[in-house]
Structure 1
Amino acid sequence: MTRRPDADVLVVLPTYDEAGSIRAVIDRVRIAVPAADVLVVDDASPDGTGRIVDEFAAVDPAVSALHRDGKRGLGSAYLAGFARAREQGYRFVVEIDADGSHDPAELLAMIALAEAHAADLVIGSRWIEGGSVVNWPWVRRAISRSGNRYAGRLLRSGIADITAGFRVYRVTALEGVDEAVVSSHGYCFQVETAWMLERAGRRILEHPIAFVERASGRSKMHAGIVAEALWRVTAWGVRDRLRGGADAATGRS
């Protein structure tokens, strides 16, 4: 893939078995941000998602596919996209789900927010004023709200929706965010990367969005993902407090 001369934004779509939604999502992204390039990172989807993306790429120079040899995880897919964005000289890189739950029409406002306020990360947030979720059962809504609150308290974060997966990053802010320093490759990747930027003093803003439950395919969320996130957030929070206590005792900052 070669960046088109007028493309400052790279939209990264990680996929695994998203044949039922990927056509519509790519179409919606291309309509919403026609100047952006689209990179689909497919983990050898057995349902033919990668083949569908190749068909798009054959007729649209803005679309390309990165085919990987197995299911390597959401975080790993985004890190591959981040690396491509740095290598090709994009200004912004976008995270967005491939199941249609995020509305690409919000991207122009999110990118404009990053531009106007020199933000390093703009998060499409469900849990700030104006944000919402659609077609979620109360149990999942409660898990998401309580998970965000728990992470916020443990990590001493000011981000309302730290688990959100709809994001615009300034590429320069992602220098050093790679496989060597990021430990999460599942959904907890979102928490870890946002917290890394927040601790580094990067400017983070949130933009209200409506998150809509997928209309086709199966959700990748399960109890194991929730348990992993809970364990990792707890470990990070405890470690951060222990380090803070040690720094205070020795006079370091």
Structure 2
Amino acid sequence: MSEGLVIIPTYNERENAALIIRRVLALPRAFDVLIIDDGSPDGTAELVRGLLPEFAGRLHLEERRGKLGLGTAYLHGFRWALQRGYPYVFEMDADFSHNPDDLLLLHAACAEQGYDLAIGSRYVIGVNVVNWPMSRVLMSWLASWYVRGVTGMPISDATAGFKCYAAHVLQAIDLNHIQFVGYAFQIEMKWLTYRLGFRIKEVPIIFTDRTRGLSKMSKGIFQEAFFGVLQMKLDSWLRPLSGARGPRPG
């Protein structure tokens, strides 16, 4: 029985896809993998499709037409996971910036320590980023500082994309009303989890910039995050959340 589903969105990740899949499926915990490919022109989906017989029942592929955005890929994966009853659902990049071994730490925080959301954090104990230029490290750190200042949410790495959700968190969030698709999506999901009172833990990780393939970062992604945070805070005043609530984050 699988202990969780690792969702990995891909777009032009042929150089990394098979490697990351094998690393995750070789872990001592029985995690399944769902690749969500947005029509990669480099043949990523074709490569993954060729691995399906080797990892039957553990590796899954969802193919979408066109580059529809990171947030929509994860929302697709969340619904897919909930329909199949996975107890824990992970977000993870395909490019090895997230160490697959750290999935075990995120899982333990939720399954053994009782947290509802575990975040692989670059900044909870100093700055743990490898191979990024100082300008990008500073921009990322300042983005999290800005989010904390605007929202009051006590999370050191607000834009982190390496996470483990207990399924009941995703069931409590109205996934049909998530507004953002880029960096702001990661902030919005944490913000809603926090507002619903679920317990959140930041697990320190070392983030290593990709060594294969090209980054998907753009100016528009950062702009969405900057203005999106203000919109989230305003919406929290105008539209109180309803639905299931957990204990306040500890």
Q: 1:135 deviation in Å?
A: 0.4
Q: 1:149 aligns with which of 145, 149, 165?
A: 145
Tell me which amino acid in the other structure corresponds to 1:20.
E
Q: Residues 101-131 of structure 1: CA distance to partner in whole angstroms, max 9, x if unpaired?
A: 0001011121111122211100000001166
Q: Residues 33-66 of structure 1: CA distance to partner in whole angstroms, max 9, x if unpaired?
A: 5511100000110000001110111211111100
Tell me which amino acid in the other structure corresponds to 2:148.
G
Determine the structure 2 residue equivalent to 1:104: 100
| Worse overlay, 173-182 or 90-99 | 173-182
Q: Is 1:205–2:204 an aligned residue pair? A: no
Determine the structure 2 residue equivalent to 1:60: 55
Larger Rg: 1
Tell me which amino acid in the other structure corresponds to 1:84.
W
Give the secondary-structure state (helix, strand or coil) at the position aligned to 1:180.
Answer: helix
Q: Is 1:135–2:131 an aligned residue pair? A: yes
Give the secondary-structure state (helix, strand or coil) at the position aligned to 2:124.
Answer: coil
Residues 64-103 of structure 1 mapped to structure 2, 5 A cutoff: 64-103=60-99
Determine the structure 2 residue equivalent to 1:49: 44
Give the secondary-structure state (helix, strand or coil) at the position aligned to 1:64.
Answer: strand
Q: Is 1:30–2:25 an aligned residue pair? A: yes
Q: Is 1:164–2:179 an aligned residue pair? A: no
Q: 1:229 deviation in Å?
A: 0.7
Q: Is 1:180–2:180 an aligned residue pair? A: no
* 1-structure distance, mates of 2:169, 2:222: 28
Q: 1:10 aligns with which of 5, 12, 18?
A: 5
| Worse overlay, 112-121 or 13-22 | 112-121
* 1-structure distance, mates of 2:38, 2:144: 28
Q: Residues 181-215 of structure 1: CA distance to partner in whole angstroms, max 9, x if unpaired?
A: 10011221110001000000001001000000000
Q: 1:241 deviation in Å?
A: 5.2
Residue pair 1:17, 1:48 contacting (<8 A) in 2 also: yes
CA-based RMSD: 1.6
Q: Is 1:218–2:214 an aligned residue pair? A: yes
Percent identity over the alignment is 40
Unpaired stretches in structure 1, ≥5 consecutive residues: 1-5, 245-253
Q: 1:238 deviation in Å?
A: 3.8
- The TM-score, its normalising length taken from structure 1, stands at 0.90
Tell me which amino acid in the other structure corresponds to 2:32.
D
* 2-structure distance, mates of 1:99, 1:139: 21
Determine the structure 2 residue equivalent to 1:249: none
- The TM-score, its normalising length taken from structure 2, stands at 0.91
How many residue pairs get aligned? The number is 239
Give the secondary-structure state (helix, strand or coil) at the position aligned to 2:90.
Answer: strand
Q: Is 1:39–2:34 an aligned residue pair? A: yes
Tell me which amino acid in the other structure corresponds to 1:30.
L
Give the secondary-structure state (helix, strand or coil) at the position aligned to 1:119.
Answer: coil
Q: 1:176 deviation in Å?
A: 4.6
Determine the structure 2 residue equivalent to 1:251: none
Residue pair 2:118, 2:202 contacting (<8 A) in 1 also: yes
Give the secondary-structure state (helix, strand or coil) at the position aligned to 2:94.
Answer: coil
Q: Residues 86-106 of structure 1: CA distance to partner in whole angstroms, max 9, x if unpaired?
A: 111110001000111000101
Tell me which amino acid in the other structure corresponds to 1:208.
P
* 1-structure distance, mates of 2:213, 2:51: 20
Determine the structure 1 residue equivalent to 2:191: 195
Give the secondary-structure state (helix, strand or coil) at the position aligned to 1:175.
Answer: helix
